[in-house]
Amino acid sequence: QVQLVESGGGLVQAGGSLRLSCAASGRTFSSFVMGWFRQAPGKERDFVAQISWSGGATLYADSVKGRFTISRDNAKNTVYLQMNSLKPEDTAVYYCAAKSVLSGVTAADYNYWGQGTQVTVSS
What pLDDT is recorded for position 54? 80
Full pLDDT tens readout for the chain, 123 residues:
789 999 999 999 999 999 999 999 876 677 789 999 999 999 999 999 999 878 889 999 999 999 999 999 988 989 999 999 999 999 999 999 999 876 788 999 999 999 999 999 999
Distance CA 101, CA 111 (A): 10
Nearest to 38 by CA among 56, 54, 24, 22: 22
